[in-house]
Structure 1
Amino acid sequence: MLNERVDTIDSYFTKVSSINTISNWLFVLSIVCSFAVFFSSDITWLNSTLNIVFIVVTVLYVVVSNWVSLFLLRNAQSKRRVHLLSNSFGIKLDDEETYRYYNNPQSPSVIRLGVNVFENTLFTLRVTEEMAKRERVKSILYLFVLLVLILIRKTDLDLIAIVAQTVFTTGLITNWIKLELLRISSDRLLVEFRQLFLTAESNINNKVKTLILSLVFRYESSVASMGVHLSSKIFHKLNSEVTAEWETIKRNIFSSVE
């Protein structure tokens, strides 16, 4: 039992995942309702009922999705940042308990903070790479359908409007772009972290510490500004593989960095 990983902060992200699942289903239901409204235009009573359902579902989707992004996710990320500082500097800043979330031997210091965020960057990159595969397919599929409908001259303009609304006003494309930006940012930061620690070796002076803090702030700013909820399912799926990759990085880079 002592060797098992403990992370009470994960419960906050689990809640985000659960509510986000509800948001996704509301999104799908809103699409179904919008098409149902279009194809039931000849049946007055059914069309009116479906319009009401569509409005209710759309409002619920907006409320729930914004609740996730503006409150639940920010709170979970804030808890994670507090723990990052607690672990990096050996100071208990809250009552959360974590064990084996970070696996770095450096003593409490700016160096440990940098190494911890280096590890976070690796995991963020690998998870966003996997998430982006699905988001690309989904977004490109919607755009392709929209393009086909536009090219078919006999397509009803109302139907094109429904698909266009789905693509451009529900955050579908925006969320994909944010995910890609976070992936690209994490990739760049990973390279910069590696280069910094490789060139610093054991000579960790104030200049190196300042550069470490700069990279740390850039990473946290990217995560906060993009507001991307990293999939817990993908994280746990990749955990052992990425952990092994991180252990290899540590052996190659941090043997002389203390």
Structure 2
Amino acid sequence: MARRDPVGPEFYIPLGTAEKVSTSAFYLAAVLSIGVLLIDRSSQPQLYSVVQATFAVSVVAFFISSIVIRTYFAVRAHSNRVADFVSNAFSVPLVASPSEGYYNTTATEPFLRMGASVLENTLFTKSILKRMLRFERGRMCLYVFAWLGAAFNRSTDLEILAVVAQVLFSEELVSRWIRMEWLRSRVERLYDDLYALLQSTTNFESKEFRARVIEGLIRYETSKAQAGLSLSTRLFKKLDADLSRQWSALANQLGIGSSETTEV
């Protein structure tokens, strides 16, 4: 079956674009916040005014873009993805253009299909997060060691050191890394729980199984919402073929089958 995912281009590409704009505004503000301290206001008043004004605009742009992302782009994208997910599980079109071949299972019982799809999501999510964290951990080590080196250097200007600390421990750097580690841990635990549930259950129509599947879906979606992170599209495309093979083997092992898909 050819893969068709209208939710991604319509909702997640605009979300990714908005996040790039917000990140650019953050780094511009970070650079200018240090630049303002390095410019002599008395000898270069015009340059100081330009940098100060640009800094103020970039801060406002970052603030507005962050709010818009959280209250509009991210909510819209996640809501439509969940609606598409439920549409697939119950074969009910809750969205105008449901995806095809995006969730890879041949299970027909709705709650079993839902449990299998959540398990597949956790497999992809935890694998992509592990790869994202390679870069994130390296970057954080570099930044923290550089900041500590500057902090222990007596010649470092304290104002510059304070500004760099604000940037380093902002939501875009240290906080983002911590949230990424937290989400990886949550998804890995959920993956293990769902695997054990599907492996040990024989009556997929029991109330207990259905309740645990719904609880797993809620844990997955609330964890993503609380972390407030978007997975790397580049890594998804890079790992998709290998992870699809892993999922196919896992689904066959659990006896829930896997539909044949083509690589994006």
Q: TM-score surpassing 0.5?
A: yes
Report the residue type matching 2:207 in the other structure.
Answer: N
Matches within 5 A, 1:235-246: 235-246=236-247
2-structure distance, mates of 1:79, 1:199: 32
Worse-matched range after superposition: 168-177 or 145-154:
168-177
Q: Which moved more, 1:182-191 or 1:24-33?
A: 24-33
1:108 Cα offset (Å): 4.3
Distance 1:31 1:207 in 2: 51
Q: Which residue of 2 aligns with 1:17?
A: 16
> Which deviates further from its counterpart, 35-44 or 12-21?
35-44
Residue pair 1:17, 1:231 contacting (<8 A) in 2 also? no
* Whole-angstrom CA distance in 1 between matches of 2:133 and 2:227: 14
Q: Secondary structure at the match of 2:87?
A: helix
Where does residue 95 of structure 1 map in the other structure? Answer: 96
**Following the alignment from structure 2 to structure 1, what is the Cα–Cα distance between the partners of residues 6 and 192?**
30
Contact persistence 1:14–1:232 (CA under 8 A)? no
Amino acid at match of 1:139: M
Counterpart in the other structure of 1:6: 4
SS of 1:99's partner is: coil
User: How far is 1:41 from its partner?
Assistant: 2.4
Structure 2's unaligned 5+ residue stretches are 258-264
Q: Are the counterparts in 1 of residues 5 and 102 from structure 2 also a CA contact under 8 Å?
A: yes
Give yes or no for contact 1:5–1:100 (8 Å, CA) kept in 2: yes
The percent identity for this pair of structures is 28
Secondary structure of the structure 1 residue equivalent to 2:223: helix
Partners of 1:159 and 1:255 lie apart in 2 by 58
Q: Give 2:197's aligned residue.
A: 196
- Distance across 2 between alignment mates of 1:170 and 1:39: 25
Distance in 1, matches of 2:195 and 2:231, equals: 23
Q: How far apart, in 1, do the equivalents of 2:12 and 2:256 lie?
A: 33
1:107-256 correspondence runs (5 A): 107-200=108-201, 202-204=202-204, 205-255=206-256
- 1:230 alignment partner, SS class: coil
Q: CA deviation at 1:50?
A: 0.7
> Is the Cα–Cα contact under 8 Å of residues 114 and 212 in structure 1 kept in the other structure?
yes
Tell me, yes or no, if the aligned pair for 1:88 and 1:110 is still in contact at 8 Å. yes
Aligned match of 2:32:
33
Shift of 1:171: 3.2
- SS of match in other structure, 1:180: helix
Does 73-82 or 88-97 show the bigger shift? 88-97
Could you give the per-residue CA deviations for residues 35-92 of structure 1, whole angstroms, max 9, x where no partner exists? 2212212523212221111111111012112222332012101100001111101111
CA distance in 1, matches of 2:38, 2:167: 16
The range that moved more, 246-255 or 205-214, is 205-214
Deviation at 1:105, TM superposition (A): 0.7
Change (3 A) 1:148 1:33: same
Amino acid at match of 1:32: V
Separation in structure 2 between the aligned mates of residue 170 and residue 45 of structure 1, nearest angstrom: 32
Q: d(CA) in 1 for partners of 2:168 and 2:77? A: 28
1:255 Cα deviation (Å)? 4.9
SS at the partner of 1:94? Answer: coil
Q: Is the Cα–Cα contact under 8 Å of residues 13 and 232 in structure 1 kept in the other structure?
A: no
Q: Which amino acid aligns with 1:167?
A: L
